[in-house]
Amino acid sequence: MAAPQARRRERLSPAARKTDIMRCAGALLRASDDRDGIVAAIAQNLGIVEGTVYRYFPTKRDLIIQVAEDWYEGMLADYDRELAGISGTRARLRFMIWRHLTVMHDEPAMCRLVLDELRADAGYRETTIYQLNRLYTQRTLGIVREGIASGELRADVPLTMVRDMIYGGIEHHCWAYLRGEGKFSPEQAADDIVAIVYRGIAAPEESGALARLEDVAKRLERFTQTHTAT
Amino acid sequence: MAAPQARRRERLSPAARKTDIMRCAGALLRASDDRDGIVAAIAQNLGIVEGTVYRYFPTKRDLIIQVAEDWYEGMLADYDRELAGISGTRARLRFMIWRHLTVMHDEPAMCRLVLDELRADAGYRETTIYQLNRLYTQRTLGIVREGIASGELRADVPLTMVRDMIYGGIEHHCWAYLRGEGKFSPEQAADDIVAIVYRGIAAPEESGALARLEDVAKRLERFTQTHTAT
DNA sequence: GAGTATAAATGAGTTTAACTCATTTAGGGG
DNA sequence: CCCCTAAATGAGTTAAACTCATTTATACTC
């Protein structure tokens, strides 16, 4: 039996220790979807004791949420700036959709944590993640509103349902991928979603043209009748 | 202090006891979203001991899953027969969507249990609920396929994405309602979803007409030029 | 109607993981 | 070099899921 390793009691600044714990928690959260005993695992990994973790985070849940929040904040930074460089309702919508799909694709474990665990429980609405997501979907709806204002989209678009179908669709589409089964292409998926949604909400451009052309047809008929009668 | 009630040891047939436990579990699952100590609560409600519950269900999870399965099976019975009485791609799609929305509306607690708890964990795929849902969405895709075959819908419809957007959209739409906040109307929601999706996937009927009319316009121009030149 | 076999039910455990707190001790300031 | 602060400890408590040897209601036999 190996002699029990004498613990070296090392003192870090609170900030450094907290960073260490969060980094370690992030790694473990990505490595496995089993959250049982994760506090013990973190402590063991860092060579500290469980109680020390609780000096920095009141509960396990707080720790996990803060890790997820930090990650998500970094992940969603700057989309606004990127979006500013894209013009056209369709392209802008596609960008928002594609970006969300890309997050799913690049960080399945974290996304699953957010979607399946954090979002399910009571305090989710008090979470930064909820706020960030709200902003993101609000931005998406903003694009739709602009499209309506310009006449490019129908005036009677049910706004929140468009949002629900886009983001609900994304989540459903990635469901299997998030648990390590199957693949998906963010580009392909974004194309497919945008194709359905855009056609679904675009103003019937053709209807005006059709009306004009129907008129043309009638005039032609009269014209030809007049001229052939002569 | 009230004298401790002498427990009356009553023996039921296994079937009867199992039914009792499941019924009680169902009531508690509907009454609260807190699953901690639910086995103890069931035992107390039935005047039995926790260990007795475990004689009928190997784990708490098994009990909950079986309750949810029984409920869902009853809930989704017969949709196939009802669907048979509805004709037209759009109406049939709307029926499937409306029905799913109605389940959400009538049994928010159970739906939340299935969506937020059962679907999140590993064994979900082995669940009857998963199978029933698969059949349901397969049936939906069947309707879309028929629409494509008849030429009513575009040939390039991304089938699974249509499914994901419909059912993901439904879930997103009901999210707040499922946790007791806000309302929604299954009828309105079904209309909105079907409006977006159907327009999104319908074949462009107008395009052929447009092409013909563009041709008419050119002929008219030539005709008028010829005749006014004279 | 008494004796007995069966299995339903018990209740006193164990286990595991989250969380608490009185005590210990590293390490910088005087 | 000592002392003070607060970081870290480790030995708890709590809570809930789950186990199992024992008890006992009930149906069946004779």
Q: Is residue B62 part of a domain?
A: no
Alpha helix segments (H runs only) across B76-127: 79-84, 89-106, 108-112
Cβ-contact A48, A38 below 8 angstroms: no
Mention every residue, 6+ apart, whose C-beta is less than 8 A from residue A201: A144, A147, A153, A154, A157, A162, B196, B199
What's the pLDDT score for residue B216? 65
Same domain, A53 and A77: no
Alpha-carbon span B110 to B113, nearest angstrom: 5
Contact at CB, A216 and B217, closer than 8 angstroms: yes
DSSP letter for each residue of A157-189: --HHHHHHHHHHHHHHHHHHHHTT-S---HHHH
Cα separation, A92 vs A144, whole angstroms? 9
CATH number of the domain residue B172 falls in: 1.10.357.10
**Is the same domain home to A129 and A158?**
yes
Find and list the nucleotides of strand D having atoms within 7 Å of a protein beta carbon: 6-12, 15-21, 24-26
User: Could you tell me if residue B152 is inside a domain?
Assistant: yes
pLDDT in tens, B209-218: 555 566 666 6
Backbone angles phi, psi at B153, to 5 degrees: -110, 160
Q: Are residues B36 and B74 in the same domain?
A: no
Nearest CA among B154, B111, B123, B130 for reference residue B61: B123
In a domain, B141, yes or no: yes
Q: Which structural domain, as residue segments, surrounds residue A96?
A: 70-203
Within 8 A of B33 by CB-CB distance, chain A residues are 122
The alpha helices in A47-158, defined as continuous H runs, are 50-56, 60-75, 79-84, 89-106, 108-112, 128-149
Q: How many helices (H) and strands (E) does chain A have?
A: 11, 0
Tokens of B223: 């005709």
pLDDT at B2: 33
The verdict on residue B89 lying in a domain is yes
Q: Is the ipTM of this complex over 0.95?
A: no
Same domain membership, residue B187 and residue B100: yes
Distance measured from the CA of protein residue A13 to the C1' of nucleotide D9, in angstroms: 17
According to the model, what pLDDT value does residue B105 have?
98
| Test the B interface: residue of A100, A196, A218, A222 with most B CBs within 10 Å | A196
Residue B163 CA to residue B185 CA, distance in Å, equals 21
Residues B122 and B33 in one domain: no
Q: Is residue A14's beta carbon less than 7 angstroms from any atom in nucleic acid strand D?
A: yes
Those residues of chain B that have pLDDT short of 50 are 1-6
C1' (D18) to CA (A118) span, angstroms: 27
Instruction: Measure the CA–CA gap between A115 and A98, rounded to whole angstroms.
Output: 18
Facing A169 at nearest CB: one of B117, B165, B189:
B165
Q: Which of B216, B119, B165, B220 is nearest to A117 (CA)?
A: B119
CB–CB contact A161 B116 (8 Å): no
Pair A150, A198 in one domain: yes
Residue B4 lies in a domain: no
Helix, strand, coil percentages for chain B (3-state, nearest 5): 75, 0, 25
Round to whole Å and give the CA distance between A69 and A151: 38
CB-based contact B169 A161, cutoff 8 Å: yes
Residues A47 and A75 in one domain: no
- State residue A151's pLDDT score: 87
pLDDT at B65: 97
B193 with B169: CB under 8 angstroms?
A: yes
A177 and A115 within one domain: yes
Domain assignment present for residue A84? The answer is yes
Residues of chain A contacting B170 with CB distance shorter than 8 Å: 164, 168
Residues 6+ apart with CB under 8 A from A171: A115, B168, B171, B172
Residue nearest to nucleotide C17 (CA to C1'): A37
Is position A218 within any domain?
no
Backbone angles phi, psi at A99, to 5 degrees: -65, -45
CA-nearest residue of chain B to A213? B213
How many domains is chain B built from?
Answer: 2
Q: Which amino acid is at A162?
A: V
Backbone angles phi, psi at A115, to 5 degrees: -70, -45
What's the half-sphere exposure (Cβ side, CA atoms, 13 Å) at A19?
5
Å between B102 CA and D18 C1'? 38
Q: Looking at the structure, tell me whether residues A82 and A132 fall in a common domain.
A: yes
B27/B110 same-domain check? no
Using the structure, give the distance in angstroms from the CA atom of B5 to the C1' atom of C15, rounded to a whole number.
30
**Cβ of B117 < 7 Å from strand D?**
no
Say yes or no: A153 and A43 in one domain. Answer: no
Q: What is the residue whose two structure tokens read 């993101």?
A: A136
Check whether residue A104 and residue A29 sit in a common domain.
no
Residue B210 resides in a domain: no
Question: Rounded to whole angstroms, how far apart are CA atoms B154 and B159?
Answer: 11
Q: What is the pLDDT along chain A (230 residues), one digit of tens a residue?
A: 333 344 567 788 888 999 999 999 999 999 999 999 999 999 999 999 999 999 999 999 999 999 999 999 999 999 999 999 999 999 999 999 999 999 999 999 999 999 999 999 989 999 999 999 999 999 999 999 999 998 899 999 999 999 999 999 999 999 999 999 999 999 999 999 999 999 999 887 655 555 556 666 666 777 677 776 65
Is residue B181 packed enough to be buried (19+ CB in 10 Å), middle (13-18) or exposed (0-12)? exposed
